[in-house]
Amino acid sequence: MKTIAWLLLFAALPAPAHEPRIISLASDLLPWCKAEAEARYIAKNITPYQWTASYHDSGNALFVDAKLRVHGDDVAVRCRIAAGAREEYATIEIDDATL
């Protein structure tokens, strides 16, 4: 009976907080940018494909310039963040009026 009580007690405790992901290199921004761009389309039940991208940094800023094939057209995708910032502060721009 004590075992069940302990299990119930631990089950009621909150889960440990998720560690924020720090983006320090432009190459670290690349997977976030791809996932975020694809998620925007998938949320609208549109399947994107053919991701191509390049990345670079300039000063303290990290950049991704990409294309995603959607609706039979190439759509430009741009992401940026300050080096060393948490992933949640990254920005994305997608040149598609349907979004």
Q: Are 83 and 59 in contact (CB under 8 A)?
A: no
**What are the extents of the domains in the chain?**
18-94
The distance from CA 99 to its chain's CA centroid, rounded to whole angstroms, is 17
Instruction: Supply the pLDDT for residue 17.
Output: 65
Q: What tens digit of pLDDT does each residue of 5-30 get?
A: 444 444 555 555 678 899 999 999 99
What mean pLDDT is predicted for residues 77-89? Answer: 97
pLDDT level of residue 38 (50, 70, 90 thresholds): very high
Q: Please give the share of the chain, as a percent, with pLDDT higher than 90.
A: 76
Instruction: Supply the pLDDT for residue 98.
Output: 86
Question: What is the value of pTM for the model shown?
Answer: 0.79
E-state strands within 1-99: 22-23, 49-58, 61-70, 73-82, 85-86, 91-94
